[in-house]
């Protein structure tokens, strides 16, 4: 964009950019669950090559497994459209906005990288480390996408103390994000040691599934403990607690449901339906966690909404945020 403050010829409104970012995040969430369906139906090697399918054909629906894998690849291509639009749009947003380019480009890079990892997973006969990386990269894409959505929304506040967000709230938010991320990683290790490999010939981790499940459980309970501590601290600032109430309530609900599904699937031989629900729940919980983390690190003014209010969200305003350097 021009440095003299004049409006460039081709621009994208903040509202439109935010809509594209939301679509991208939602698409990656759907794609994550679709990837789990591929694995749970044993279709991970429905196409034994990449980017082509069986026998060097680009499209092959000769079997159910091949069709499922092809649909997943098609979804990946569709999600690439808003992802690319978001990355390009971050450089054409008007009014100008700092802090959008890095997360928007990061989403594009991680999604492209995930495509490569997916191809390597197929060529590597679904090695659990590659399958694990595939999921983690998707969570990273979602995280960066949510940063873009957040920064394109209500204007940030200049005085953090006026929001009621204390250093303790900020650090508890960070700790919650780290522990939820750790629970996602340990959850993928459990998956890598479990029965749903994506194909009956795929390699598995040689870990005892009971042991890794216990480690996963520890990270989950640690995250719950930090969340409860955050709720107790928020009681000291009723206004902030009310503003964060929707995310707090959603996180609590998802955590209870996820815990119930987790234990239910563990003690019932990890049926595929429950595993798919667990993956969907984990993705949703990660979304809410990142939103809480952003609320603690980059508080926004709840009185400003939409593009008109966002006119006030200029670069000096966002520069006070610990995460807004790009």
Q: pLDDT value at position 225? A: 97
> In percent, how much of the chain has pLDDT > 90?
39
Is 5 a member of any domain?
no
Residue 167 has pLDDT above 90, yes or no: no
Residue-wise DSSP of 68-132: HHHHHHHHHHHHHHHHHHHHHHTTTEES--TTSHHHHHHHHHHHHHHHHHHHHHHHTT--HHHHH
Find the DSSP H helices in the chain. Answer: 14-40, 64-89, 101-123, 128-151, 167-193, 209-234, 238-266, 272-297, 306-310, 315-318
- The pLDDT tens digits for 101-110 are 999 999 999 9
Supply the angle between the helices 238-266 and 272-297 in degrees, to the nearest 10. Answer: 160
**Domain membership flag for residue 225:** yes
- pLDDT range class, residue 81, cuts 50, 70, 90: very high
pLDDT of the residue at 6 = 66
Q: Which tokens is 70 given?
A: 């092809």
- d(CA 181, CA 302) in angstroms, rounded, equals 27
What average pLDDT does the chain have?
82
- Give the residue numbers spanning the domain of 290: 12-318
pLDDT above 70 as % of the chain: 79
Is it the case that residue 177 has pLDDT exceeding 60?
A: yes
Residue at 244 is within a domain? yes
pLDDT at 246 over 50: yes
Residue 163 lies in a domain: yes
Q: In terms of DSSP bridges, do strands 12-13 and 93-94 run parallel, antiparallel, or are they unpaired?
A: parallel
Q: For residue 68, what pLDDT is reported?
A: 80
Provide mean pLDDT across the span 63-73.
77
Q: Judge whether 194 lies within some domain.
A: yes
What's the predicted TM-score (pTM) here? 0.84
Distance CA 38, CA 275 (A): 12
For residue 1, tell me if it sits in a domain: no
Query: So what's the pLDDT on residue 62?
Result: 65
Whether 307 has a pLDDT exceeding 60, the answer reads: no
Whether residue 37 is contained in a domain is answered as yes
pLDDT per residue over 120-159, tens digit each? 887 777 788 888 888 999 999 999 999 999 999 876 665 6
Does residue 326 carry a pLDDT above 50?
Answer: no
As a whole number of angstroms, the longest Cα–Cα distance in the chain is: 65
Query: Which tens digits make up the pLDDT trace of 257-303?
Result: 999 998 898 888 878 889 899 999 999 999 999 999 998 887 776 55
**Contact criterion met (CB below 8 Å) for 160 and 193:** no
Tens-place pLDDT, residues 191-222: 877 776 666 666 777 788 888 889 999 999 99
Asked if residues 150 and 204 have their Cβ atoms less than 8 Å apart, the reply is: no
Contact 302, 243 (CB under 8 A): yes
Whether 324 maps to a domain, the answer reads no
Q: Which residues contact 301 (CB under 8 A, 6 or more apart)?
A: 154, 155, 156, 157, 309
Cα separation, 2 vs 19, whole angstroms:
24
Query: Quick one: average pLDDT of 55-65?
Result: 66
Distances (CA, A) of 121 to 63, 82, 132: 20, 25, 10
Q: Domain tally for the chain? A: 1
């Amino acid at each position: 964009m021009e440095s003299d403050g004049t409006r460039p010829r081709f621009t994208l409104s903040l509202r439109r950019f935010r809509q594209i970012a939301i679509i991208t995040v939602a698409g990656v969430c759907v794609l994550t669950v679709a990837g789990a369906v591929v694995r749970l139906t044993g279709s991970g090697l429905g196409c034994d090559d990449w980017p082509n399918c069986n026998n060097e054909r680009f499209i092959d629906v000769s079997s159910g497994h091949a069709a499922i894998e092809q649909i997943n690849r098609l979804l990946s291509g569709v999600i690439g459209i808003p992802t690319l639009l978001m990355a390009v749009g971050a450089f054409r947003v008007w009014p100008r906005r700092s802090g959008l380019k890095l997360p928007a480009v990061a989403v594009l890079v991680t999604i492209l990288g995930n495509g490569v990892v997916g191809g390597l997973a197929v060529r590597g006969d679904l090695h659990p480390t590659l399958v694990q990386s595939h999921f983690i990269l998707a969570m990273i894409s979602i995280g960066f996408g949510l940063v873009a959505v957040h920064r394109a929304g209500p204007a940030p506040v200049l005085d953090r103390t006026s929001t009621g967000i204390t250093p303790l709230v900020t650090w508890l938010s960070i700790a919650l994000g780290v522990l939820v991320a750790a629970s996602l990683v340990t959850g993928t290790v459990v998956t890598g040691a479990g029965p749903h490999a994506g194909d009956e010939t795929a390699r598995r981790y040689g870990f005892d599934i009971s042991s890794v499940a216990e480690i996963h459980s520890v990270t989950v309970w640690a995250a719950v403990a930090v969340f409860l501590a955050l709720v107790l601290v928020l009681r000291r600032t009723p206004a902030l607690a009310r503003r964060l109430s929707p995310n707090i309530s959603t996180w609590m609900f998802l955590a209870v449901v996820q815990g119930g599904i987790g234990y239910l699937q563990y003690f019932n031989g990890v049926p595929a339906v429950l595993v798919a629900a667990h993956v969907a729940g984990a993705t949703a919980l990660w979304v809410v966690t990142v939103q809480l983390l952003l609320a603690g690190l980059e508080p926004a003014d709840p009185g400003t909404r939409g593009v008109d209010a966002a006119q006030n969200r200029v670069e000096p305003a966002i520069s006070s945020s610990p995460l807004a350097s790009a």
